[in-house]
Amino acid sequence: MSSALCPRIGTFAFRVLLGAFLAFGLSFASPTVWAHATFNESTPAADSVLQNAPREIVLRFSQAVTPVSVTLSGPNGQPVSTGGGATAYDERVILAIPQELAPGDYDVSFSVLSGDAHSITGNFRFSIAVPETAESDQVEVIGELTQPESRPAKPAGPEGGTTKTVSLGSFEQITRAVFVITLLLAVGLILFRALVPLPDVLDDWVIRRVRVIGSVGLGVTVVYFFVATIALTGLDAFRPRHLYVLLQSSIGMSLLLASAGFLFLTMSAAAQRMLMSVAAALLVISRIATGHPASQEPGLLLVPSMVIHVAAAGFWLASLWVLLRLLRKGPLADAPGILDRFSRVALWSVGALLAVGILMAAAHLRSFDALPTTEYGKTLLWKLLGVAGLLVIAVVNKIWLTPQLVTNYDSSALKRSIRLEAVLMVAVIATSTILAATPPAAKASEVAAAGASDLERVPFLQSRGGHNEQ
C-alpha cells in the first residue's frame, strides 16, 4: 500500500470510529437482548384438559421476548375479552383472564418478537372439563368437549404450540433488498471518496449522488417501516400499541439509525467529510443491529466481522457505479490512474470480504454437512456461486480489460464487463436478504435437538428487551 494512501485510510478510520462511538451510544441507550428465542412451554399446557378455569395464560420462551399479541378464543370461536394485552416478564409472557371461563375448548394464538430479528407466532389449544354435576343441556350449549382419553397426547412446548412461519411475501423481500442496496451504495460511495482520490468533476458527481441517495434512502426506510409493521400485524398494523412495539424493537432502532444516517447525507457537502463519516457509521451499525451475527456465538468476533462485511460489500457495489460514470463521461485521461488506485484498495477490500465471509459462514454452519442439507446452507451455496462469478469478472477486468484502456483508451469491453458485474452484485445482495431471513444451520440444529422439528423462523424483528415499558 502506498504511503499516500495510508494517511487517507488513517484519517477516515478515525472519523468512522468517532461516528461508530456516537452510533453505539444511540443504539444502546437502553439494553438490547441479543438472543435467538424459542418457545418452550405454556401454562395451561397444549392439549391439556383442566378441571378448573385458569386465571392467566403463561408462555415461556428460552430468552426474553416482546409480545405483539396474545389472543384467547372460546368454544364457539369467539374472542374472549381479557381486559388488556399480554405483559412480558423476562422469558415469560402472561395474559391475565379476569373473567370465569366456561367449560369447552379454548384456542391461544400468540405473536412475539425474538432477539435475533425473528418474529415467532404460534397457537395451541386447551380444554376446561364439564363438571360432573352439570346437566346435559348445559353440555349442548357449550358444544362437544373432547375427553382426555380421546385427545392425542403431545408434549408441552414447541410441539404442543406449533410455531408457524410468518409469510411476509415477495413485496417485503423486494423492499428489504432495495433498502439494503440503497444503504450499501451510500456507505460505498463515502468509502470510495475517502480512499480513492478523484478529480474535482468526478468528486462533485459523487457528492451529488450521495445526497440523492440520502433522500431516496429516507423514503425507502419509511416504506420499509410500514411494510415491516403490516407484515407483522396484518390489518391491525397501525394500532398505536403495535407501532410502539415496533419502534421499541431493535428493527425499530435499526431503522431510526438508518434514517439518521440518510438524513445526514442529505445535508452533506464537499467540506463536510466528518458528517459523511458519521452517516456511514450510523448506516453500518443499523445493518448489524439486526440479524444473525449479533445473536450468534462468538458475538464479539462476528459483530466486527459484519462491520467489515458491510463496508467491503458497499465499497465493491459503489465502485462499479463510479467506474461506469468515469468510463462513460470521463475525464477519461484520468481513468488509468484512478483504476490503479482503486485496484490497490479493492485488493484489500475483496480480501477482507472473503476472510470475514468465511468466518461468518463457518459460525453459522458449524459443519460442511449443513451446506447441502439445510435451507441456510443451500441459500449460502447460491450466494457463494454468485461471489465466485464476481471474482472471475474482477480478475478478467484487472488482467485483460483494464490494460486495453491504458493502451488504446478502448473502454467498451470494460464497460460491458462492469455492467455484468453490477447485475451479478445485485443478485448476490438479493440472495443475502433471503439468507438473512433463514435461520442459521447452527440454530436450526439446536432447535431440532430440542424437539422442535416443525419450528421455523423468519428474521424480521428484534426485541429490545422483555418488558413492555421499554
Element (H, E) at 9: helix 5-27
Q: Using one digit for the tens of pLDDT, what is the confidence trace for 406-446?
A: 777 678 888 999 999 999 999 999 998 888 767 665 554 44
Please determine, for residue 106, whether its predicted confidence score (pLDDT) is greater than 90.
yes
Domain that holds residue 310: 5-30+170-436
Residue 326: CB partners within 8 Å, gap ≥ 6? 202, 332, 334, 335, 338
Q: Are 235 and 467 in contact (CB under 8 A)?
A: no
Tell me the β-bridge partners of 56: 96
Give the CATH number of the domain where residue 50 resides: 2.60.40.1220
What count of other Cβ atoms lies within 10 Å of the Cβ of residue 236? Answer: 13
Rounded Cα gap, residues 154 and 448, in angstroms: 16
Regarding whether 43 and 13 lie in a shared domain, the answer is: no
Q: E strands within 12-117? A: 39-43, 49-50, 56-61, 66-73, 87-89, 92-96, 104-113
- With 60 as the cut, is the pLDDT of residue 26 above it? no
Which strand ranges, in their side-by-side order, compose the sheet holding 92-96? 39-43, 56-61, 92-96, 87-89
Inform me whether the pLDDT recorded for 265 exceeds 60.
yes
| Number of Cα atoms under 13 Å in the Cβ half of residue 178 | 18
Co-location of 272 and 401 in the same domain: yes
Tell me what pLDDT residue 64 has: 79
Which pairs from 362-369 meet CB under 8 Å and 24+ separation?
363/293, 363/296, 363/297, 363/298, 363/301, 363/302, 363/440, 363/442, 364/292, 364/296, 364/440, 364/441, 364/442, 365/440, 365/441, 365/442, 366/441, 366/442, 366/445, 367/441
Tens digits of per-residue pLDDT, 313-331?
999 999 999 999 998 887 7
244 located within any domain: yes
Boundary residue ending a domain (148, 164, 180): 164
Domains held by the chain: number: 2
**For 245-262, what is each residue's pLDDT tens digit?**
777 777 788 889 999 999
* 339 plus 423 within the same structural domain: yes
Residues in the chain: 470
The residue among 98, 129, 164 that closes a domain is 164
pTM score, two decimals?
A: 0.70
Cα–Cα distances in Å, from 403 out to 202, 327, 336? Answer: 22, 14, 9
Q: Is the pLDDT of residue 47 over 80?
A: yes
- For the cut 80, the answer to whether the pLDDT of residue 229 exceeds it is no
Q: Is residue 457 part of a domain?
A: no
Which residue did the predictor score with more confidence, 205 or 465? 205
